[in-house]
Chain A
Amino acid sequence: MSQATASQTAAPELAGEAAPAAESARALLSVNNIEVIYDHVILVLKGVSLSVPKGGIVALLGANGAGKTTTLKAISNLLRAERGEVTKGSIELEGERVQDMTPNDLVKRGVIQVMEGRHCFEHLTVEENLLTGAYTRGGDRAGIQQDLEMVYGYFPRLKERRGSQAGYTSGGEQQMCAIGRALMTRPKVVLLDEPSMGLAPQLVEQIFEIVKRINEQEGVTILLAEQNTNVALRYAKYGYILENGRVVMDGPAERLRENEDVKEFYLGLSATGRKSYRDVKHYKRRKRWLS
């Protein structure tokens, strides 16, 4: 795999300078060559660039520790709470530099992250959880009530469980609650981190279906970090693959799905068809002998 250019159009070498600027003009969110360091020593992102078009669904793919979550947190600026820092590059929302803003400011501007592992407020009821999402909107009662109904429209399950403490609801319900809470902020772009984690395949499918509907009907842009490459590439329009803090490949979702390397490394398929379980086992056993 070779380092791919961030630009999806095959721009000539000389125009390389101008291309990102032109791109960020039509992109809702653009991340330009950022580097993130934790605790002043641990280099996690080594120059990540990506751009998210308005109204799109973009997937960030990669293995554990590739830097997906860090990229999202750099955008929503939850990094600072973990003593991480963007040391190079820039992050722009509709052409405005946003990397020094507090999460509060970013939420007001329409950038919200749904964190990995849901992070619902366990001791608050489902409805109270949703209402915390409206915190930055102040006293706009009518609007908040209307959005609450909108969220219940997408997630009827939440309406049934509105009075239960979120900590006692199921994993799927908590994921819905977290997404619903994000919608209550009236976002432009939702950074969705690992929504499939720990959920049954059917439920994952259902949640992605709803996310897609939200994207189409509410015009909310989605930037998605997923390990479940298969599902993510089916719902996303464009994908970036991260490895060791770098973007190693990017392209429209269909192209990535067809790519041999992606098939082999992320979808568990190879050119010779699916490997049989016996071969896999054999391979592993041999490897253990050698090491």
Chain B
Amino acid sequence: MNLRTIAIWAVSVPLVIAALGFFHQALAAAGWIAFFTWPFYFEVILNGLLQGVMYSLVALGFVLIFKASGIFNFAQGSLVLFAALTMVGLIEMGLPWPLAFVATAVVMVGVAIAVERVVLRPLVNQPHIILFMATIGIFYFMDGFGQTLWGSDVKVLDIGIPKDPIFILGGVFEGGLLVQSFDVIAALCGALLVAVLAVFFQYTRIGRALRAVADDHQAALSVGIPLKTIWAIVWSVAGIVALVAGIMWGGKLGVQFTLALIALKALPVLILGGFTSIPGAIIGGLIIGAGEQVAENFVGAAIGGAIQDWFAYMLAMVFLLFRPQGLFGEKIIERV
């Protein structure tokens, strides 16, 4: 991302939001959709963006592993579930939540090392599809193992994040915009996590090695970067990202089996943002979050509802047709 792209985005995003607003206003004027008001529109967008951060959190885990090893890690969703289950289990055993968080992080690092030892190391240099199949195996194993350890009941994960509705921007809009404080805090945590990851990747020795491995496995090997260590680190980081995502999603939906399936929600986010880009995962998540909320709230009622369930996939499909590398997918550098 250079300054030019940032400038383009800074200009085009408000334009697109405004254009979509006028579009819906026109639809309402023509009588195709029931109603349209600007405050409600902004409220929907804002809540959509906050929802989008949650998608980004899951997508982030995929991007990390895909970048470093070229594997689409199907098991990321089950890592989220496993992390959330472990965290709840530890809290139920009486640990205060910060301690439980640290302990779970340690467990996730352990899982990462085990995955590298048991699954990835024997399969090194196999075609990617075989590694992908292996991650499906990890998915089912983690899914079952987590529930064996901690039980399969729906659990409440509460680490004391307030869930009250709050009103913001009361001065601009009459009555202000209604948002959930939980969503705001989740978004802030997400932003913090991304900032930490960005610094880690950009300025540390290990971060540099991770990016080197992502660029060229062989060259990385040739300068003495040990792939095995790097993979264990990447899976650990992905595990900790899964933990944060698990806390947020678990706090929202309750910790249960279906948590593992939010991985499927991350798929369109990845296609939109590009599999290899961390900013892409964030922005893809935001676009899909906002987009599906707008579609659901305005157009949804007119054509029967439940747009939310398929909107993201439709958007992803459009992207696959016109821009298969996604918005921020790694540009293939080609010199003539």
Contacts and interface: CB of A to CB of B under 8 A. Distances in A.
Interface of A: 76, 78, 81-83, 102-104, 106-108, 112-115, 119-124, 128, 131-133, 135-136, 138-139, 165, 167-168, 170-171, 181-182, 185
A189 to B, nearest CB: 14
B216 A102 contact: no
A135 B215 contact: no
A133 B223 CA distance: 6
A139 B206 CA distance: 11
> Which 8 A-B residue pairs are closest in the complex by CB-CB distance?
A107-B224, A167-B333, A119-B219, A121-B215, A136-B224, A104-B226, A132-B212, A121-B212
A123 B333 contact: yes
Given A103-B224, A112-B224, A135 B218 contact: no
Contacts of B215: 121-124
B323 interface: no
A181 B132 CA distance: 33
A123 B222 contact: no
20 contacts: A102-B226, A103-B221, A107-B223, A108-B224, A115-B219, A119-B219, A121-B216, A121-B219, A122-B215, A122-B216, A122-B333, A123-B215, A123-B333, A128-B208, A132-B209, A132-B220, A132-B225, A167-B335, A170-B335, A185-B223
> Which of A107, A112, A132 is packed against the most chain B CB atoms within 10 Å?
A132
B226 A78 contact: no
Contacts of B222: 76, 78, 103, 112-115, 119
A132 B208 contact: yes
A41 B219 CA distance: 26
Contact of A131 (B208, B216, B335): B208
A121 B212 CA distance: 6
Contacts of A121: 211-212, 215-216, 219-220
B309 interface: no
A175 B223 CA distance: 15
Contacts of B217: 81
B4 interface: no
Interface in B219-273: 219-226
Contacts of A128: 208, 211
B228 to A, nearest CB: 9
Interface string B266-305: 0000000000000000000000000000000000000000
A281 to B, nearest CB: 31
A78 B224 contact: no
Contacts of A135: 205, 208-209, 223-225
Interface in B182-229: 205, 208-209, 211-212, 214-226
Nearest to B333: A167
B208 A115 contact: no
Contacts of B5: none
A119 B218 contact: yes
B37 interface: no
Contact of B205 (A83, A139, A181): A139
Contact of B224 (A115, A131, A185): A185
Contacts of B223: 107, 112, 132-133, 135-136, 181-182, 185
A103 B226 CA distance: 8
